[in-house]
């Protein structure tokens, strides 16, 4: 069996490189865009209410569903390279709709909304529910959550984005135009297209 041989100074180089990586990691995490950071884990108050705990469980199950879908897609693509030609958004939608984790996320988010004591708790639960319902293919329920978001916080631009998206999913042009008008007024007349993550 051959032993690895290190030249003089290799140990010092390896230690310095490891230290540099350790010093850079916190800066790298802080440099992530806020949208990526919030997609990883939801911001919650330091003292968690029962609604916050249920919402945390819903987020965890949502993340499990996404990971499960990714694993399944990669496994199929590795087994059959032709599968990569399938429309990825439609395929993802089908896999998400059948995910037991996503259905569990919906149950936990519904519980969070029932337990909610504040407008902010109801808003966060409905925002997650809108995303879940869309991914389950339940677009009428998604529209109901989007309307609930508008009723809770009409001053927020994001609620009009959700309403526009839900209206598109349901083919409701008049509701989409209403949301578009609100978005234009929120942006001070700037009509550039706005997008939200799925």
Q: Count Cα atoms within 13 angstroms, Cβ side, for 179.
A: 27
- Measured distance CA(147)–CA(163) in Å, rounded: 7
Report the phi/psi class of residue 45: left, alpha or beta, with left for phi > 0 and alpha for psi in -120 to 50.
beta
Contacts of 44 (CB under 8 A, 6+ apart): 52, 55, 56
Split at pLDDT 50, 70, 90, the class of 33 is very low
DSSP code, position 3: P
| Max mean pLDDT range (9-13, 100-104, 191-195) | 100-104
pLDDT for 136-195, tens place per residue?
999 999 999 999 999 999 999 999 999 999 999 999 999 999 999 999 987 654 444 444
| Selected residue with higher pLDDT from 170 and 1 | 170
Cα separations in angstroms, 195 against 74, 83, 102, 131:
27, 28, 23, 14
């Amino acid at each position: 069996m051959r032993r690895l041989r290190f030249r003089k100074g290799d140990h010092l180089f390896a230690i310095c490189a490891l230290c540099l990586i350790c010093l850079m990691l916190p800066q790298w995490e802080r440099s992530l865009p806020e949208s990526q950071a919030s997609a990883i884990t939801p911001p919650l108050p330091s003292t968690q209410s029962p609604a916050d705990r249920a919402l945390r469980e819903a987020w965890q199950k949502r993340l499990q569903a996404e990971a499960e879908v990714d694993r399944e897609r990669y496994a199929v693509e590795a087994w059959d390279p032709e599968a990569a030609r399938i429309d990825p958004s439609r395929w993802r939608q089908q896999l998400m709709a059948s995910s037991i984790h996503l259905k569990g996320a919906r149950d936990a988010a519904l519980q969070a909304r029932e337990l909610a004591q504040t407008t902010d708790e109801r808003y966060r639960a409905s925002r997650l529910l809108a995303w879940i319902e869309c991914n389950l293919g339940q677009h009428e329920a998604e529209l109901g959550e989007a309307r609930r978001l508008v009723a809770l916080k009409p001053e927020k631009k994001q609620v009009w984005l959700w309403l526009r998206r839900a209206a598109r999913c349901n083919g409701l042009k008049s509701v989409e135009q209403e949301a578009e008008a609100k978005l234009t007024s929120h942006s001070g007349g700037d009509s550039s297209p706005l997008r939200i993550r799925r």
